């Protein structure tokens, strides 16, 4: 710990009111403690202690410094405890409940990196509907939940929240591929790939077409994000998904994401949650931090 000896010396002298008593307590020569205090007073330009006939008393500058010293020592103790926890990552399991698009994409990528660093930790990715994600995390069956448009509930604590937008997802050789932004009407004339009515995305996209005064009749309907991506990749169809859903496919060059400029089209909220007022194991905490970094 940087300057840890000096911090301990100052704290002990302030606590005992005596350099000799501090030396006895720390098993250090009083002359060594006195030397460090004098050097620090010279560097600061202010006396830290009043030298009294029967001991030492903190000056106003000394009181400020000792308060800082004690905060620093306390924070360092917490850091040491966290590092010990990390070193102790020898066993255990992290369970994350999520949806199929996120499970195969950003969650899987983050999990691979996490497990490479912590090979003794088992990581379980459970793909389930929104209502089951909420129940699983609230009941303690999963450590973390990651999904779009999770309902607000007092049982869940939100660790991070991103407002995203759905966009048009097309194959890399689609006529519209490479377009950065376009109006929703440009999607007409191509097969439309919709989420089915069991998914929140269905109402988001359907309402957007209606609000724009357009008739959006889907050619394909599915409750599988993976199927939506495959259909888009294998045809001239257009799916409506978030950037997080297709991050890997964009990176690999198989799919292209196009922003829709119509008003608030496709407003979508992605949340990472845990059970309210329940401490997580260190492994779950570290994986949650990894996910946050992946999402930024």
Q: State the Rg of the chain over Cα.
A: 29
**Tens digits of per-residue pLDDT, 59-88?**
999 999 999 988 888 787 767 666 665 665
Q: What angle do CA 203, 208, 214 make, to 5 degrees?
A: 120
Output the average pLDDT for the chain: 88
Give the 3-state secondary structure of residue 122. Answer: strand
Last residue of a domain, one of 30, 56, 87: 87
Q: How many CA atoms lie within 13 A of 173 on its CB side?
A: 3
pLDDT of residue 2: 47
Quick count: other Cβ atoms within 10 Å of Cβ 142? 27
Same domain, 55 and 122: no
Same domain, 182 and 249: yes
Confidence of residue 163 (pLDDT cuts 50, 70, 90): confident
| Start-to-end C-alpha separation, the chain | 32
Same domain, 157 and 123: yes
Same domain, 65 and 128: no
Same domain, 260 and 278: no
Per-position DSSP letters for 37-70, written without gaps between them: HHHHHHHHTS-SEEEETTEEEE-HHHHHHHHHHH
Average pLDDT over residues 217-238: 94
Same domain, 32 and 172: no
**Tens digits of per-residue pLDDT, 251-269?**
889 999 999 987 667 778 8
Least confident range from 90-94, 207-211, 236-240: namely 90-94
Burial of 9 (0-12, 13-18, 19+ CB in 10 A): buried
Residue 153's CATH number: 3.40.190.10
Last residue of a domain, one of 87, 109, 137: 87
Q: Which residues pair with 165 in a beta bridge?
A: 267
* Tokens linked to 245: 């859903």
Same domain, 149 and 185: no
Residue 227's CATH number: 3.40.190.290
**H, E, C per residue of the chain:** CCCHHHHHHHHHHHHHCCHHHHHHHHCCCHHHHHHHHHHHHHHHCCCCEEEECCEEEECHHHHHHHHHHHHHHHHHHHHHHHHHHHHCCCCCEEEEEECHHHHHHHHHHHHHHHHHHCCCCEEEEEECCHHHHHHHHHCCCCCEEEEECCCCCCCEEEEEEEEEECEEEEECCCCCCCCCEECHHHHCCCCEEEECCCCHHHHHHHHHHHHCCCCCCCCEEECCHHHHHHHHHHCCCEEEECCCCCHHHHHHCCEEEEEECCCCCCEEEEEEEEECCCCCCHHHHHHHHHHHHHHC
CA pair distance 4, 36, nearest whole angstrom: 12
Same domain, 72 and 110: no
Q: How many domains does the chain have?
A: 3
Confidence check: pLDDT of 152 > 50: yes
CA dihedral over 10, 11, 12, 15, signed as positive or negative: positive
Same domain, 50 and 124: no
Confidence check: pLDDT of 3 > 60: no
Last residue of a domain, one of 87, 118, 151: 87
Burial of 140 (0-12, 13-18, 19+ CB in 10 A): exposed
Same domain, 261 and 277: no
Confidence of residue 181 (pLDDT cuts 50, 70, 90): very high
Host domain of residue 121: 93-161+270-295
* Tokens linked to 236: 């001239």
Same domain, 176 and 243: yes
pTM of the model as a whole? 0.61
Burial of 41 (0-12, 13-18, 19+ CB in 10 A): middle
**Tens digits of per-residue pLDDT, 22-64?**
999 989 999 999 999 999 899 999 999 999 988 899 999 999 9
Residue 78's CATH number: 1.10.10.10
CA distances from 156 to 107, 124, 269 (A): 20, 20, 15
């Amino acid at each position: 710990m940087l300057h840890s000896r000096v911090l301990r010396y100052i704290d002990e002298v302030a606590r005992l009111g005596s350099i000799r008593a501090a030396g006895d307590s720390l098993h250090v020569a009083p002359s060594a403690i006195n030397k460090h205090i004098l050097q620090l007073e010279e560097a600061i330009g202010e006396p830290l202690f009043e030298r009294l006939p029967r001991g030492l008393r903190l000056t106003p500058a000394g009181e400020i410094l000792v308060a800082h010293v004690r905060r620093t020592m306390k924070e360092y103790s917490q850091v040491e405890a966290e590092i010990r926890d990390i070193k102790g990552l020898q066993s255990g399991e992290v369970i994350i409940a999520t949806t199929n698009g996120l499970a195969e994409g950003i969650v899987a990528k983050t999990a691979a990196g996490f497990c490479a660093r912590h090979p003794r930790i088992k990581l379980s990715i459970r793909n389930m509907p929104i209502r089951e994600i909420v129940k699983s995390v609230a009941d303690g069956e999963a450590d973390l939940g990651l999904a779009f448009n999770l309902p607000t509930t007092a049982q869940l604590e939100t660790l991070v929240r991103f407002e995203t937008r759905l966009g048009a997802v097309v194959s890399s050789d689609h006529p519209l591929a490479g377009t950065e932004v376009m109006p929703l009407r440009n999607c007409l004339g191509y097969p439309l790939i919709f989420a089915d009515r069991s998914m929140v995305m269905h109402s988001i996209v359907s309402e957007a077409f209606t609000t724009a005064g357009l008739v959006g009749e889907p050619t394909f309907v599915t409750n599988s994000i993976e199927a939506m991506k495959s259909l888009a990749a294998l045809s001239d169809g257009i799916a409506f998904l978030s950037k997080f859903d297709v991050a890997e496919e964009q990176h690999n060059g198989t799919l292209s994401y196009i922003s829709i400029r119509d008003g608030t089209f496709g407003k979508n909220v992605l949340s990472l949650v845990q059970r309210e007022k329940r401490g997580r194991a260190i492994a779950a905490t570290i994986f949650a931090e990894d996910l946050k970094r992946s999402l930024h």
